Structure 1
Amino acid sequence: MDAGAFVTDAFLQSVLQAAADARQQCLHMLDFIDQNRAAQPDPDAEMQLSRQQKLLHSNLAKLRGLNRRALLETRNTKQQTQEAKSEIDSLHLHLQNLYYEQRHLIGDIAACQGYNHKYQSLPLVPVDEILAANPELAEADEHDLMVARINHEHAERQTLEEQRQGLLKKKQSLINDNNKKKDELAALDKEIEKFLDSAAPLQQKFDQHDQHNQKATASA
């Protein structure tokens, strides 16, 4: 099969053509030598053979030049192919990294979608009440309505927390007042005890006087 059937590059076709011309010239010279074999050399034949040799040398020189150029271009093509292959390998590796990152992100998204968020367990106000209190949300989407419900719950909890803090302060104030009154009562008890202790001798004298009067009355 003719090699030219597989070669489509114009330069390589010119190389094949130069090789075919050189081959044809060699065959022509061999035929000429066979046809002009003689005991005595013929000057005209030798001149023609010399011209054919020059033509062959010219064809061979052209073929060598084309062959050298073809080798250089082949080398450059191999280099370019290697560089292109390296670039493709790098792009393939980058693509694999992107696939890996994509799978990782898909997994994260699925985990976020399946995550049991705390807001799902909050006793949020119904949507109807939010819409009734905020008519401007009538055209809001599900996300905005959820944000509004969470904000409402947050505001309610802040109000309750403020009330709780106020009650704690009031409770602490009452505890302080009770402790103060306990201290005052304890101090009063001590004063009464001191008074009773100091009045004991006087009470004893009163008792003795009463006893004396009773005896005097009994004698009379």
Structure 2
Amino acid sequence: MTSDNLITEPALLSVLQAAAQARQQSLAILDLLEQYHARDTETTPESLLDDQLALSKQQKTLNTHLAKVRGLNRKAVLSVRATKQETAEARQEIDSLHLSLQNLYYEQRHLRGEIGGCDGYDHRYRQLPMVSEEEYLSRHPDQVDATEHDLTIARIEDERLARQELEVQRLELVKRKEALAKETLAKKEELGRLDTAMEKWLGGQDAVRKLFEAREESVAGIPQPQTV
């Protein structure tokens, strides 16, 4: 593969074309000089003047080609510099995009790890003794089309309301228990007072009984009068 096949840039191709023309012109001048030297012995003043004119014409043509080559070369050099600048800017942009892509990749991997951790996390709501999904839907048929996330939130809320109601009932039972305990204590105290009063009353009855028994004994010891 030749250099002509490798180079496809129009500006560089124009430089190569102008350089080829200048080369051909230089070769033509060299051929012309060889012809002059070959017939140097037969040169007349008239022919020498014609040869000088022809050589001057060829040199002017060569200078034209060389000027064109210089101009195109300068233009190509400036184009190459601009291309290098554009390439450097494009490379910086690509590097920046690559860095952003790497950051996105790391962030994606981090988020996937977080999502995996959340999926595998044993959340406390899974330990709640909630009613089954079938039972909940049987009581709330309007939520049959709800998503799993919304359905779980609704079941947790239903469980919260049920527990609040049970807590209210528990507090009411506690109040009733305390009231019954106070009432029982009051009755126990009242029974204690009655027991004390009864014991006192029974103690009094025992003293009266003993008094009557003593009197009966004393009466029984007096001799009875005899009849004639």
TM-score by length of 2: 0.71
Task: Please point out which of 59, 62, 76 is paired with 1:53.
Answer: 59
Alignment of 1:106-145 (within 5 A): 106-145=112-151
Distance 1:161 1:57, change over 3 A: same
Distance 1:5 1:174, change over 3 A: same
Q: CA RMSD in A?
A: 2.8
Which residue is 2:13 aligned to? 13
* Contact map agreement 1:130 1:148 (CA 8 A) in 2: no
- Structure 2: gaps (5+ residues): 191-228
Tell me which structure has the larger Cα radius of gyration. 2
* Contact map agreement 1:22 1:59 (CA 8 A) in 2: yes
Task: Please point out which of 78, 81, 86 is paired with 1:75.
Answer: 81
Task: Please point out which of 102, 107, 112 is paired with 1:101.
Answer: 107
Query: 1:139 Cα shift?
Result: 3.6
Mapped to 2, the partners of 1:48 and 1:86 lie a distance apart of 56
Query: 1:135 Cα shift?
Result: 2.4
Mapped to 2, the partners of 1:4 and 1:128 lie a distance apart of 80
User: Letter of the aligned partner of 1:65 in structure 2?
Assistant: G
Q: After alignment, is 43-52 or 157-166 more displaced? A: 157-166
Query: 1:64 Cα shift?
Result: 0.1
Mapped to 2, the partners of 1:33 and 1:128 lie a distance apart of 110
Match status 1:85 vs 2:91 = yes
Which one has more relative contact order, counting CA pairs under 8 Å at least 6 apart? 2
Give CA deviations for 1:42-82 in whole Å, capped at 9, x if unaligned. Answer: 00000000000111111000000000000000000000000
Query: 1:89 Cα shift?
Result: 0.5
Q: After alignment, is 126-135 or 106-115 more displaced? A: 126-135
Alignment of 1:185-200 (within 5 A): none
Q: After alignment, is 92-101 or 123-132 more displaced? A: 123-132
Query: Percent identity of the aligned residues?
Result: 52
Which residue is 1:195 aligned to? none
